[in-house]
Structure 1
């Protein structure tokens, strides 16, 4: 995802890993790691995204469980924080969305993402992706807009469409947990889109 005003920045906690412990959030991370195994991602043939959604949905969010990862840069629209690198085929990121801020409309560079709301509400707008080679100027077509609440889970990929995520609260931040395959997809570059014209711009790899 891309900041409204600047490209996202990735912060890492001191350990860059969720401790395997008795805390429910640590158990959630461990269960995801066990299901994916040593070499699988969300897009692997034998992996069911709905099963991962169910794993994430059964965890009840509690700020005390994950606040150590919730670092926020108030100069940016949102801040991405590494929770766990999983197995090299996927990673877990906790995103802090500043009040009234969100992402630009973007694709996922062929990545897959499962998102769980941890705190606050987030509005996701999904758009039809323009046909390849379409040079006409027209507004992007909205497929669906959904407001997600704490503990709700959703899934997005380029096969579903483009999307934008936005924190509608003007005074309070929102937090969400994201499982990505491949990890760090933004490092491969991706596209952002103009809602009014459907025109895209390539965001080069970020290092």
Structure 2
């Protein structure tokens, strides 16, 4: 599956989302994402791409779309803070390398702060999908590339994310939320990816 086919699949799933259960939606997203991330041609593109920094986020589809297909490059040792996904449905897989994901759940609210508990751990690798769902234990996570080489992940959000919340450590083991705008290093970069990969 090439990048155009992936974007078309996400667009189709988005248009049918009201008729599908969440499990059916995740199943269809996972199938398309697994096919895309196991393509050797797509993986070769990611391996040959030269990111602008140790962490680079590229929007593959048009910024005018109601959904997002995002390619993220992680340098060795690079990770994200704990963050949510503004209640969208989505899925994540690796295109190259591996990243470790830890999901969290909010267990208590304390004024402006919250208490978080780890809710699970997963290794994201090509063809392996982790879902993003509005439920508390599937919405918050962090990701980190603990390997000595670069990793690339593909993130699909059925509802475009413009703002989301990061969870910053506060005194006493609590976390304070900070609203953050989602940014991209490049937009519409999908047109530079292979458009004939079928492996």
Same fold (TM over 0.5): yes
Instruction: Deviation per CA, 1:97-124: give whole Å up to 9, x if none.
Output: 1111110011122233311210001100
1:157 aligns with 2:136: no
Instruction: Tell me what 2:195 maps to.
Output: none
Select the structure that is richer in strand: 2
- CA distance change for structure 1 residues 24 and 206 in 2, over 3 Å: closer, same or farther? closer
Between 147-156 and 57-66, the greater mean CA deviation after superposition: 57-66
Which residue is 1:194 aligned to? 169
- How many residues align? The count is 174
Change (3 A) 1:136 1:26: closer
Q: Relative to structure 1, is the Cα distance of residues 188 and 84 closer, same or farther in structure 2, using a 3 angstrom cutoff?
A: same
Instruction: Tell me how far apart the structure 2 counterparts of residues 199 and 89 of structure 1 sit (CA, whole Å).
Output: 31
Conservation of the 8 A alpha-carbon contact between 1:127 and 1:144: yes
Q: Which has the higher contact order (CA 8 A, sep 6+)?
A: 2
CA RMSD of aligned residues (A): 3.0
In structure 2, what is the Cα distance between the partners aligned to 1:55 and 1:126?
A: 23
1:79 aligns with 56
Q: Is the Cα contact below 8 Å between 1:71 and 1:96 reproduced in 2?
A: no
What is residue 46 of structure 1 aligned with on the other side?
A: 19
User: Structure 1 regions of 5+ residues with no counterpart?
Assistant: 1-22
Alignment match, 2:39: 61
**Shift in alpha-carbon separation, 1:56–1:137, aligned structure 2, 3 A:** closer
- CA shift for structure 1 position 157: 3.0
Structure 2: gaps spanning 5 or more residues: 184-199
Measure, in 2, the Cα distance between the counterparts of 1:139 and 1:175. 30
Task: Give 1:189 deviation, angstroms.
Answer: 4.0
In 2, the alpha carbon distance for the partners of 1:34 and 1:139 equals 38
Does the 8 A contact of 1:72 with 1:79 survive in 2? yes
Deviations along 1:54-88, one digit per CA (max 9) or x if unpaired, are 222233232556727945232x4x21101113872
Which of the pair is proportionally richer in helix? 2
In structure 2, C-alpha distance between the alignment counterparts of 1:179 and 1:73, rounded to whole Å = 22
Question: Any conservation in 1 of the 2:164–2:180 contact (CA below 8 Å)?
Answer: yes
TM-score (norm 2): 0.72
**Quick check: 2:59–2:69 contact (8 Å CA) kept in 1?**
yes
Contact 1:70 1:175 in 2 (8 A): no
1:88 alignment partner in structure 2: 65
1:206 to partner: Cα distance: 5.4
Contact 1:118 1:177 in 2 (8 A): yes
TM-score, normalising length: structure 1: 0.70
